[in-house]
Every structure is written in C-alpha cells, then in structure tokens.
Structure 1
Amino acid sequence: MNDILGRLFTLDGTGQYLDLPFVQSALLAAALLGLVAGVLAPLIVARGMAFAVHGTAELAFTGGAAALLLGISVSIGAVAGAVTAGLVFGLLGLRQRERDSVIGVVLAFGLGLGVLMISLYDGRAANKFGLLTGSIVSVDSTNLWVLGLVVAVVLLVLAIVYRPLLFASTDPDVAVARGVPVRLLSPMFAVLIALTTAIAVPIVGAVIVLAVTVIPGAAAARVTANPLAATLLAVAFAEVALLGGTLLSLAPGLPISGYVATIAFLCYLACRLVGRVRGQVRTG
C-alpha cells in the first residue's frame, strides 16, 4: 500500500519535466481550460445542466473516436461531436421535464457508437485510452490553437449575453415575462458547454469532464450567492485542479484525470464545510 501511495503522490523529478515542450503545452492548455470551465461552471449549476455536460462529453468522445478512425485531429472531431450534442440538447430539450430523457437517449446512442468506432480503430491503444482518461501528451500545437480559438469564442459570447443568461438561469419564468429570449439563449448556452466540453476531453478525458465543468461551480455555490464571487472562486478551483493535477501526474506518469477529480472534490468538500460552519454561526 505504501508503495502504491508513494508512486501516486511522488514529486521526485517533477522539475525536470517542466522544461519539456509538451509539458509546457499541457500546462498552458490546463490554464486555458480552467479559465473557461470556471466561468461556465456557476451557470451550469444554476441551470441544473450537470447531466447535459455528461451527455455532451460522451458525444465529444464519439466525435474524437470518429476522428481517430478517419485519421484527422481528435480535437476537431471532439468539437464536432460536442457541438452536435449541444444543438440537439438545446433544441429538443428546452423544457426541464424533457431534458433528461433527450440527453439519456442521445447519450446512449453516442456512447455505443463511440465504443464501436474505438473497437474498429487499429492504432495505438494509448490514443483510445486517452479519450476516456485524458493525456497531456495529446496536447500539441494544433490542439493549442483549437483550444485558444474555442476559449476566445466562448468568452466573447459570454461577455455579450452574460446578463440575460444569468437572469434566465436564476429565474427563467420572470425572464420570459420580461422579454428575455430564453428560447434562443438555451441552445446558445448548450453550444458553449459543448465547445468547452470538447476541448476538455483530450486533456482530462470524457469520463471526468464533470470534475472541471461542474464541481468548481457547485463548490463556489456552497460559500457565496454573489454571481461575480462565485465565478472567481470557480475559476480558482478549476485552475488549481487542472494545473495541480497536471503537475502531480508528471512524476508517476499516470493520467491526470484522477488527480484533477480528487483536487476538485477536495475543494468541494472544503466549501461544504465552510458553508456548514457559516450556517451554524448564523443560527447560533
């Protein structure tokens, strides 16, 4: 047991990896992903779209698997699959009571199709495994350009629609009554989630996308109701989880997904504890 723990959490030789170009690219990618995921996370939590993120991640996995099979960039395939999922979820699942069933149907189809395409792929097993658990060596210059472009687009659109989107997320009925275009914002936000999920899959894997797109927002919601403070905290939690997980994974040479998920979960537990202590102080 001690040997296993020692391998999981060793930092010996981590410094020598920091000079490697692929590690620097991975850290830059993690920082960009943490920024956009942290900004979106509080809105995802407010709109109750955690399951949608999971479904979108599975379709991003399907797109990535198709890209492997066709011999094109995994990032481009993941973006195509995730955007398709976002449009489907946004257009067919506008009503809350319809959303889960639509997501479940599309998720099951996409996951089955993705597994089939992965089985047909004859290339390196590491490429298959990386789609599920992430891989820092998959981040190359092409992926960085795609990542940077997607982050810029998502943040630009959010800057334009943030106020009506926040209004529609916190009180949709009143937003409709005030003339906010909720039916337009829902698919638009679904596409923003899709783009973010797509760029996350090659880094942290389809299995653990929730760790960076939902947990930071859920943690921040435990300690503050202020939208700006929640966004800043969510960005901080996402950055700590992604950058910390990347650094911790270097020496043992293991996928970063487990480290990222663990750090994000610890942030959530700490915020729950802070929120409970605050509640006890107020009632006391």
Structure 2
Amino acid sequence: MNWPDVWDAMFGGVADYGEILVLVSNSVIAGAVLGLVGGLVGVFVMQRDMAFAVHGISELSFAGAAFALLVGFDVVTGSIVGSVLAAAIIGVLGARARDRNSIIGVLMPFGLGLGILFLSLYDGRSANRFSLLTGQIVSVQTGQLGWLIAISAFVLLGILLIWRPLRFDSLDPQSAAARGVPTTAVSLGFMLLLGLIVAVSVHIIGALLVMALLVTPAAAAMRIANGPLSVPVLAAVFGFVSAVGGILLAVMGTLPVSPYITTISFVIYLVCRVLGSRRDRVSTRAALRGAR
C-alpha cells in the first residue's frame, strides 16, 4: 500500500479547496437539507424498529434509479418511483413486524438484482453507475436540487402534520389503536414519507449506505437524550453534521463522499454511546446511594 497515494486521494485537493467547493455547492445544500430531515425521520425509524426497512427501500430505489439511467430518464424520478413502490408494499403487506421483515428480506435481493442488471446493460460513464451505490459528490445538478429540496420539505411537512399520532403509534401501538388513532393510515403515510427521503438519500450517499443518515444519527441521539423534543433536535443536528461535514471533507480528495459521511456518523454514535454509558453508571450509583 502506497500511503502517499492514499493521502493524496483523501486530501490531495486542499490547495484548490475553495474552487472545488464552489462546484459542489449544490451537493452541500442538498446534504444539509437531507441531514436535517433524515435525522428527524430516523427518530421514528428507530422507535418503530424499522432500520431494516430503510435498507430494503433503498434497494428498490437503486433499481428505479438504475432503470432511469439505462433508458435516459431522470434518475431522481426513477429512484422516487422505486422507493415509493417499496414503501407502499412494505406498508400494506407488513403490518406486523414478522411479516414486514420477511417482505423486506424478499424485496432487498430482488431490487439489488434488478439494479445490477440495469447497470450491467448501461454503456454510459462508469462514474454514473458507481455513484448510485456509494454516492457522488457532484451528482446533484442544478435542475435536481430544487426537486431534492422540495421532496425533503414535503417529507418534513408530512412528519409535522402527523407528529402526535405517529409518535403515539410508534411508542405504544396497542394503546394508540384503542384510543382511536388510525394506525394503519399513519403507518402507511409514514412509510411513503420514508420512501421519499430514502430516494433523496440515494443521490447523496448511495443506496448501500443510506442508514448512515437515516438510522445512525437518531440512534446516537437516543443514547444521550430521551425527551420528546431533545431527541429529534439532536438527531437532526447529528445528521446535518454528518452530511455536510462529510461533503466538506470529500471535496479535499477524489474518493466517494460516502466513506466520509459514514465515518463522521459512526464517530458521533460512538461518542454518544460512551457518554450515555457514563451517564447510566452515574445514575445507577446515585440510585444505589439513595436506596441506602
């Protein structure tokens, strides 16, 4: 392994950092929006134990984007169609956790296989194919940026509109149903919103690593907070830092953006886990002293 070459691939563009940053400004904006909304959505993903569903939806989103690339159609639209289709199937057929996991297990290899087939038939630039799997820092064009922001804003608005019943259904579905909450409609609505934000994520971090923005920030926030407001706020902040920080670091080199984003997200989780463990130990000791 030639370490100078590795260093150059990671940070070799520092000298031209300002000029390169201007070229990827669309990706920075899209990453900031995605990090905020993705972190917020991730809280409900964790509360509903649907981390596996994120990966399943991303595979069909990848297949839709790959098909759009093959036929010369808009890639964003293709990924949205794939994501929404997967979300609808999981939401309608996977009401129970066991059914949901089995359906996702069936959809994942099917979507990944279709995506690989479409990419194999595509004879265009190899960078376009690679970016669908691992993300590409310059993949967000000016025309697509408006759509990505609009989709993220729509998801955010949808989450805010169903916030209370969704939170109730996520924490205690049996009581929510007994209180008259339309749990089926709430679940399906959340799945569709999740499908949309996954489609946006594919264009920033790639289909294989979307959980770094839709699961890890929320998991980190839940390690150090438990309030109804503090957890979503922290998750959104962690998602923002991971996405924007990863893009700003990736500008320095020639590597895909996803390793930077996933690394930052993972480090945040590790720090929160350590802090949460220390807090739990202190609380336990305090409780034992009080019991004496």
State the TM-score, normalized to the length of structure 1. Answer: 0.96
1:143 aligns with 2:159: no
1:19 aligns with 2:22: yes
Task: Provide, for residues 240-279 of structure 1, a one-character-per-residue CA deviation record: whole Å limited to 9, x for no partner.
Answer: 1111110111121211000000000000000000101101
Deviation of 1:5 after TM superposition, in Å, equals 5.4
Task: Tell me, yes or no, if structure 1 residue 263 matches structure 2 residue 274.
Answer: no
Q: 1:174-220: per-residue Cα shift (whole Å, max 9, x none)?
A: 11111111111111111111000001101110011000000001000
Q: In structure 1, what is the Cα distance between the partners aligned to 2:218 and 2:268?
A: 11
Instruction: Provide the rounded CA distance (Å) in 1 between the counterparts of 2:210 and 2:117.
Output: 21
2:99 is equivalent to residue 93 of structure 1: no
Give how far 1:76 is off. Answer: 0.7
- Rounded Cα–Cα distance in structure 2 between residues aligned with 1:269 and 1:5: 25
- Unaligned residue ranges in structure 1 (runs of 5+): none
Which letter does structure 2 place at the counterpart of 1:216? P
Alpha-carbon distance, 1:53 to partner: 0.2
Whether contact under 8 Å (1:41, 1:234) holds in the other structure is yes
Task: Give the Cα separation in 2 of the matches to 1:280 and 1:11.
Answer: 45
Deviation at 1:233, TM superposition (A): 0.6
Please give the alpha-carbon distance, in whole angstroms, between the structure 1 residues aligned to 2:195 and 2:145: 17
Q: Deviation of residue 11 (structure 1)?
A: 6.5
* Offset of residue 44 of structure 1: 0.5
Q: 2:43, 2:13 → 1: CA distance?
A: 32
Q: What letter matches 1:111 in structure 2?
A: L
CA contact (8 A) 2:58 2:83 kept: yes
Structure 1: how far apart are the matches of 2:41 and 2:104?
19
Q: In the alignment, which residue of structure 1 is the partner of 2:274?
A: 273
Letter in 1 for 2:20: Y
Aligned residue runs from structure 1 range 1-284, under 5 A: 2-3=3-4, 6-7=7-8, 8-9=10-11, 12-13=14-15, 14-20=17-23, 23-284=24-285
- Say if 1:10 and 1:248, in contact at 8 Å, map to a contact too: no
Secondary structure of the residue that 1:180 maps to in structure 2? Answer: coil
CA distance in 2, matches of 1:187, 1:219: 26
Report the alpha carbon displacement of residue 15 of structure 1 after superposing the two structures with TM: 2.6
Structure 2: distance between partners of 1:197 and 1:98:
21
How much is the aligned-residue C-alpha RMSD, in angstroms? Answer: 1.2
Structure 2 SS opposite 1:78? helix
Q: Is the 8 A contact 1:56 1:85 kept in 2?
A: yes
With over 3 angstroms needed to count, the CA separation of the structure-2 counterparts of 1:5 and 1:272, relative to structure 1, is farther
CA distance in 1 between partners of 2:32 and 2:45 (Å): 20
Q: Which secondary structure state, in structure 2, belongs to the residue aligned with residue 254 of structure 1? A: coil
Contact 2:137-2:250 at 8 Å conserved across structures:
no
* Inter-partner Cα distance in structure 2 for 1:30 and 1:198: 13
SS in 1 for 2:49: coil
Aligned length: 282
Task: Compare CA radii of gyration and give the structure with the larger one.
Answer: 2
Distance in 2 (CA, whole Å) between partners of 1:233 and 1:159 is 16
Amino acid at match of 1:195: L
